[in-house]
Amino acid sequence: MKGPENSEISINTGHMLREAIKYEQIARYLIFKPIFWNYFDYCEYGSFETSTEAFLTLNDFLTTHKLVASEFFNSNLNKFIDRINRLIVSPNYVTKRQSVKLLAQLILDKPNYNLMTTYVNSPHNLKLIMILLGDKSKNVQFESFNVFKIFIANPRKSKSIIEILTKNRERLLQFLRTFANDRKEDELFTVERNFVIEQIENLPRLVQLQNVNAKGTETDIQGGNKGLQNMPPLSNDGIPDSKYNHKKN
- Write down the pLDDT at residue 184: 81
pLDDT-above-70 percentage for the chain: 82
pLDDT in tens, 102-115: 999 999 999 999 99
Helix, strand and coil percent figures for the chain, each rounded to 5: 65, 0, 35
**Residue with the larger pLDDT of the pair 88 and 205:** 88
Q: What is the mean pLDDT of residues 151-167?
A: 94
Strand, helix or coil for residue 218: coil
Model pLDDT, residue 116: 97
Phi-psi domain of 188 (left: phi exceeds 0; alpha: psi -120 through 50; beta: other): alpha
Q: Is pLDDT of 209 > 90?
A: no
Question: Phi and psi of 179, rounded to 5°?
Answer: -70, 130
With a cut of 60, say whether residue 213 has pLDDT above it.
no
CB 140 within 8 Å of CB 148: no
If you average pLDDT over residues 85-96, what whole number do you get? 94
pTM reported for the whole predicted model: 0.83
H-type alpha helices, the chain? 10-20, 24-31, 38-42, 48-63, 66-75, 77-88, 93-108, 113-120, 123-133, 138-153, 159-167, 169-176, 187-201
Complete domains list, the chain, with CATH: 1-75 (no CATH), 77-249 (1.25.10.10)
Burial of 199 (0-12, 13-18, 19+ CB in 10 A): middle
Helix intervals (H) in 109-186: 113-120, 123-133, 138-153, 159-167, 169-176
Query: At residue 88, does pLDDT exceed 60?
Result: yes
Confidence of residue 185 (pLDDT cuts 50, 70, 90): confident
The pLDDT value given to residue 224: 40
Kindly tell me if the per-residue pLDDT of 241 is higher than 50: no
Cβ neighbours of residue 21 closer than 8 Å, sequence gap 6 or more? 27, 30, 57, 60, 61, 64
The amino acid that residue 63 corresponds to is T
The predicted structure's pLDDT at residue 173: 95
Q: Average pLDDT of 192-217?
A: 70
Which residues, at least 6 apart from 73, have a Cβ–Cβ distance to it below 8 Å?
80, 106, 112, 114, 115
DSSP 32: T
